[in-house]
Amino acid sequence: MVHKGQGRIRLLAIWSKHMNFLKLQLLIVYRLMKGLGIIVSVLLLCVAGLLLYILSLAPQTNIILVDAALVAGFHYSRGDRELLQILYGSEKRLLMAEYVLLSTPLIAICALRLYWVPLLVCVAIAIVLPMLPRPRLQFTMFTYPFLLKGSYQYAGSMRTLLIPYLLGILSSCMGLLYHNINITYATLLLFVYLLGFLICQPVRKSHLMFYSSPLRMIHLQSIYAVGNTFALLCPFFAILLIHKADALVIGEVVMIYILATLFLFQSELIRYFKIDNPIVIMIVLSALFMVDAVGYMKTVMIPLAAFTTLLLSFMVYSKYSA
């Protein structure tokens, strides 16, 4: 009887640790969503729901692959296993519980679609993966090698966008192969917008000490925009010219280059207004991007894009020359 009582107490203690750990994980998610704000959180939930709906229409193997990639990504990128070992004694059970919780949306899809084999595989992945040895890999994310010297903001952004950038070039090549050049235009525009959003991070006061004057600061940012835009978009331009190298396409390439340069330069200038709210940054950048994108379809909008750039330059100069 004593041994049974001790066993029950031990099981209750383990159960309590697991529940406290899961509550902590849910609390982290709650605080993250609270910090993002209700609008961004609702948008993220809507996007996640849409992706889950699309995934529910996919073949069963795709659900298994997505679950494996999701769980493996969390498992091999986390650095708190030693901390969990110290705090909770055995981190493997905790990781199993967390990965089952992480896989719950995919498990629910399998249950609703009556995919019993993928359901069991998703559960098995969550249980087996924490028991496998985890190799210690030292991996450094490379950046784009042809950026101008001193382009730290572009280099940092390209560490995030390097893989999507390469995938965009690959998809553009596939579009060229299958005579669908619109893929190149779409990926090019998407890449320019994402790069502009990543570049547009508020500057710190210490950053301003690297420039002798506001005019020098604006001059350098314009050089970075001109040079880096050309280096980054060259693969897309080459694909467009390979598809059809006539005067019309050459004119389109030149126009896209000018408008993309203006947009990235505008993104650099927005940084110096020190806007901390990401939603405001997204709204401002989206408005600027729309003006520049419309300039590609209607050349009458190009002077407006150029005037907006000059106005932002003057505002930054006035702000920091005072």
Percentage of the chain modeled with pLDDT above 90: 12
Q: What share of the chain is helix, strand, coil (3-state, %, to 5)?
A: 80, 0, 20
Amino acid identity of 8?
Answer: R
Mean pLDDT of 100-128: 90
Q: Report the predicted TM-score, pTM, of the whole model to 2 decimal places.
A: 0.57
Asked whether the beta carbons of 122 and 110 are under 8 A apart, the reply is yes
First to last CA, the chain: 82
Task: With a cut of 70, say whether residue 195 has pLDDT above it.
Answer: yes
Amino acid identity of 33?
Answer: M
Residue 217 tokens read as: 């600061």
Query: Which residues, at least 6 apart from 110, have a Cβ–Cβ distance to it below 8 Å?
Result: 60, 63, 116, 118, 119, 122
Mean pLDDT of 291-310: 82
CB atoms within 10 A of CB 107: 21
pLDDT single digits (tens) 8-46: 666 565 566 667 767 777 777 777 777 767 776 777 777
Higher model confidence: residue 112 or residue 204? 112
Mean pLDDT of 179-202: 87
Q: What is the mean pLDDT of the chain?
A: 80
Distances (CA, A) of 178 to 172, 252, 281: 10, 21, 37
At residue 122, the pLDDT reads 92
Residue 197 tokens read as: 């959003």
Nearest Cα residue to 199 out of 231, 158, 239? 158
Asked whether the beta carbons of 292 and 259 are under 8 A apart, the reply is yes
What span, in angstroms and rounded, lies between the C-alpha atoms of 176 and 239? Answer: 7
Task: With a cut of 70, say whether residue 299 has pLDDT above it.
Answer: yes
Amino acid identity of 1?
Answer: M
Query: Which residues, at least 6 apart from 123, have a Cβ–Cβ distance to it below 8 Å?
Result: 100, 103, 107
Nearest Cα residue to 196 out of 264, 248, 137? 264
At residue 222, the pLDDT reads 87
CA 98 to chain centre: 23
Asked whether the beta carbons of 172 and 184 are under 8 A apart, the reply is yes
Task: With a cut of 70, say whether residue 7 has pLDDT above it.
Answer: no
Higher model confidence: residue 114 or residue 27? 114
What span, in angstroms and rounded, lies between the C-alpha atoms of 249 and 237? Answer: 10
What span, in angstroms and rounded, lies between the C-alpha atoms of 149 and 63? Answer: 43
Residue 7 tokens read as: 């066993």
At residue 155, the pLDDT reads 86
At residue 152, the pLDDT reads 81
At residue 58, the pLDDT reads 78
Mean pLDDT of 274-298: 80
Banded pLDDT at 2 (limits 50, 70, 90)? very low
pLDDT single digits (tens) 199-209: 887 776 666 66
pLDDT single digits (tens) 212-253: 777 888 888 888 899 899 999 998 998 888 888 788 888 889
Task: With a cut of 80, say whether residue 257 has pLDDT above it.
Answer: yes
pLDDT single digits (tens) 65-76: 888 888 887 777
At residue 17, the pLDDT reads 66
Banded pLDDT at 124 (limits 50, 70, 90)? very high
Task: With a cut of 70, say whether residue 179 has pLDDT above it.
Answer: yes
At residue 5, the pLDDT reads 58
